Amino acid sequence: MRRPSSTSCPAGENGLNTATPGRRLGGVPLSKPPAFRQSLSGRLEHNEGLFAFLLVLPAMLIVLALYIYPLIYSFAISFLRSDIRYPEEFRGLKNYVEIFQEPDLLVSFWRTIYFTVVSLAIEMTLGIAIAVAFNNRFFGRPVARSLIMIPWAIPPVVTGIIWNWLVHAKIGVLNYVLYSLKLIPRYKPWLADPTWAMNLIVLADAWKWTPLVVLLVLAGLQAIPDELYEAATIDGAGGAAVFFRVTLPVISWPIMVTLILRTVEAIRVFDIIYVMTRGGPANATKLTTFYVWEIAFKHHMMGKGAALAYLITALIVILAVFYYRLLNRRVEL
């Protein structure tokens, strides 16, 4: 797109203003030296790159200030002793080395893997099943499709609060139902049990994010033409064969995209844990991001916290590259 030339300060064919500096042009006094106006408008007239750069400059500055600068700053402090108690001091790689010496790090890493794998397995299985079901025509489908999105629209903190109350040891609905049905002798403190606490957090996360999987997979399913199904049916394919031979290959791309998005998000989970268990009981739900928060914001060791955050970032980048290559390979196939 080209910027329209100025009407108050017409430019010559060569892009230079022909008016003499200091003279009145069309009876209107020039507010700035014409040479300047001439060169700026001329440059913009002929240099689309410069014009485009000026247009994106405000957005670039905002991104730099709000995204790039904190990224660089946090990376820089990962090499510092940035502890609230002491003056800042360069430590080289000591923060990274010390992180690996933390006794609980490996355990929290395995907990994160468990959380990610199990919650993704639930979300993907349920998400695909629901999407396939919602792709069929049935009474009330528009309403059902809208309702399924509600958990996704709820902020993670609110999700944590809802689940916290559902499974509350004293006033939770789950206990009320199970006790009323005589399935438990006394109300059970679900979140005080390490195994239950972790799996309930997984369930809460799966409840929140399954709708996203439904949405993305459903979008992929709707791109499949009916003729493909008809052809498969004519060829004698049954329901399972149609799903595995027709549906699944076509929706494999949206599934992979969803998998990448959800893996990154699952590794970064924090809100639900903070609200439901604060890493307890006995560290059973202390995942790596919660560990970062504890080191950086509770123990006020920002440098060490930043180092751990960057190690998690590196892990996410490796996973993203792996998924991306897998995705490309499948697309090529």
Partner 1 sequence: MRKGIAILIAALLLGGAGLAFGQTITVLLGIDAAGKHMGERAQEFTAKTGIKVNLVEVEWDAMVNKQAVALKAKEPTYDIVDCGSFMLPEYVPGGLYADISDMYTPAERARFMDGMLDGVSIGGKLYAAPLMASWTIMFYNSEMFLKAGLDPNKPPKTWDELVAYGQKLQSPTVYAIADSLAPGEYISVAFFRWAKSAGAKISEFRGNKVFWLVDSPECVKALEFMQSMIKDGTMDPGSPTYYQQQIADLFGKGQSSMLVNWDMMQLAFKNPEQTPYAGKIFPAVMPGAKAGLSGSVEGHEYLAIPSPSRNKAAAKQFIKYLQTPAVQKKRALEDGQTPVLKALFKDPDVKKVINLDVVFQAAANCYYRPAVPEYTQCADALSVELQNALVNNKDARKALQDAAAKLNKLSGW
Binding site for partner 1 (CB under 8 A): 82, 84-87, 168-171, 179, 185-187, 189, 191-194, 277-284, 294, 297-300, 302
Rounded to the nearest whole angstrom, what is the least distance from the CB of residue 316 to partner 1 in the complex?
A: 24
Rounded to the nearest whole angstrom, what is the least distance from the CB of residue 106 to partner 1 in the complex?
A: 15
**Nearer residue to partner 1 within complex by CB, 115 or 134:** 115
Cis, bond preceding 281 (omega within 30 deg of 0): yes
**Nearer residue to partner 1 within complex by CB, 148 or 284:** 284
**Nearer residue to partner 1 within complex by CB, 134 or 293:** 293
Rounded to the nearest whole angstrom, what is the least distance from the CB of residue 117 to partner 1 in the complex?
A: 23
**Residue matched to tokens 């969803």:** 258
**Nearer residue to partner 1 within complex by CB, 86 or 139:** 86
What's the chain's length in residues?
333
Rounded to the nearest whole angstrom, what is the least distance from the CB of residue 4 to partner 1 in the complex?
A: 20
Q: Which long-range contacts (CB under 8 A, 24 or more apart) does 190-198 make?
A: 191/164, 191/167, 191/276, 191/277, 191/281, 192/281, 193/281, 194/281, 194/282, 194/284, 194/285, 195/284, 197/276, 197/277, 197/280, 197/281, 197/284, 197/285, 198/111, 198/114, 198/115, 198/284, 198/285
- What is the rounded CA–CA span in Å between residue 209 and residue 116? 12
**Nearer residue to partner 1 within complex by CB, 199 or 283:** 283
**193 burial class (0-12, 13-18, 19+ CB within 10 angstroms)?**
middle
Sign of torsion over alpha carbons 111, 115, 118, 124:
negative
**Nearer residue to partner 1 within complex by CB, 94 or 168:** 168
Rounded to the nearest whole angstrom, what is the least distance from the CB of residue 297 to partner 1 in the complex?
A: 5
Do 275 and 162 touch, CB atoms closer than 8 A?
no
Rounded to the nearest whole angstrom, what is the least distance from the CB of residue 60 to partner 1 in the complex?
A: 25
